[in-house]
Amino acid sequence: MTKVRRGQSFHTHRGYIHFDDLIGRAFGERVKSSLGVDFVAFRPNILDYTRKMVHATQVIYPKDMGLIVVYSAIGHGSRVVEAGTGSGALTSILANFVDPTGRVYSYEIRPEFLEKARKNIERAGMLDRVELKNKDVALGIDEKDVDAVVLDLAAPWTIVSKAYEALKGGGTIVSFSPTIEQVVNTVEALEAEGFVGIEASECIARRIKVKRGQTRPETLMIGHTGYLTYARKAIKEA
């Protein structure tokens, strides 16, 4: 992803492109480089922005982000609590789905991470849908009756009771954890708190090299990123 500026050029091993030749053209049009190679200009989407973010922490991969969005069942107007913010990549994805009428409340204990995340989220055009909070979520969640709580923390099981208090009836909690021990602790905490529909899963994606007569999985792949734990809030009996 490159910002187009009048009078400048974009240089690659396939030749360079004068930005002046791009300005005024429609997205999706082709333009030839100095070496005669076709390039196509596209409007950046939210995934493009997350790939270009300055990362202060390990970022969650798109395959996991997609499942988090589906499991959390968020959409237009949803109110979502996230902890922690990290680099703001997942924050931006969540904000993209809640639409301007929804809100993402993102908790981060480290102010230096929060400042980097703020710049990343603003660059992605999602800051107007996000409220960044420099607070330890273990001290409590300020919001009530939220639609979803999304956790990317070292000890998510310690936040389960706080998430229960913040969620509306039927609301969802989704936790991302890199180790199975974290999953076990989180599931036990969810069961103890009275959550239902508890599931744990892992998403493994494998890219395919497609060329007639040579189609096969790519040689290198990311074998493991993390586990997702999902549950829904059932209101306790009086």
Same domain assignment for residues 30 and 142: no
Question: Into how many domains does the chain fold?
Answer: 2
Same domain assignment for residues 95 and 111: yes
Establish if 2 belongs to a structural domain: no
Same domain assignment for residues 112 and 143: yes
Same domain assignment for residues 131 and 183: yes
Same domain assignment for residues 33 and 51: no
**Domain range enclosing 14:** 9-40
Of 20-34, 60-74, 104-118, the one with minimum mean pLDDT is: 20-34
Query: Half-sphere exposure of residue 108, counting CA atoms within 13 Å on the CB side?
Result: 22
What's the whole-model pTM score? 0.86
Which residues face 167 on adjacent strands?
A: 146
Cα-based distances in Å from 192 to 21, 139, 150, 184: 62, 20, 19, 12
Establish if 21 belongs to a structural domain: yes
Same domain assignment for residues 115 and 209: yes
Same domain assignment for residues 131 and 207: yes
Roughly how many angstroms between the first and final C-alpha of the chain, as a whole number? 54
Same domain assignment for residues 27 and 128: no
pLDDT recorded at residue 205: 93
pLDDT in tens, 126-180: 999 999 999 999 999 999 999 999 999 999 999 999 999 999 999 999 999 999 9
Same domain assignment for residues 35 and 111: no
Cα separation, 21 vs 9, in Å, equals 9
Cα separation, 233 vs 238, in Å, equals 15
Establish if 100 belongs to a structural domain: yes
Same domain assignment for residues 21 and 50: no
Q: Which two tokens stand for residue 59?
A: 């970022």
Establish if 4 belongs to a structural domain: no
Establish if 237 belongs to a structural domain: no
Establish if 179 belongs to a structural domain: yes
Which residues face 82 on adjacent strands?
A: 106, 150
Given a cut of 80, whether residue 51 has pLDDT beyond it is: no
Query: What is the average pLDDT score of the chain?
Result: 93
Establish if 29 belongs to a structural domain: yes
Establish if 53 belongs to a structural domain: yes
Same domain assignment for residues 13 and 107: no
CATH at 173: 3.40.50.150
Query: Half-sphere exposure of residue 152, counting CA atoms within 13 Å on the CB side?
Result: 22
* pLDDT over 70 percentage in the chain: 97
pLDDT in tens, 125-136: 999 999 999 999
Same domain assignment for residues 30 and 79: no
Predicted confidence band at 2 (pLDDT cuts at 50, 70, 90)? confident
pLDDT recorded at residue 55: 63
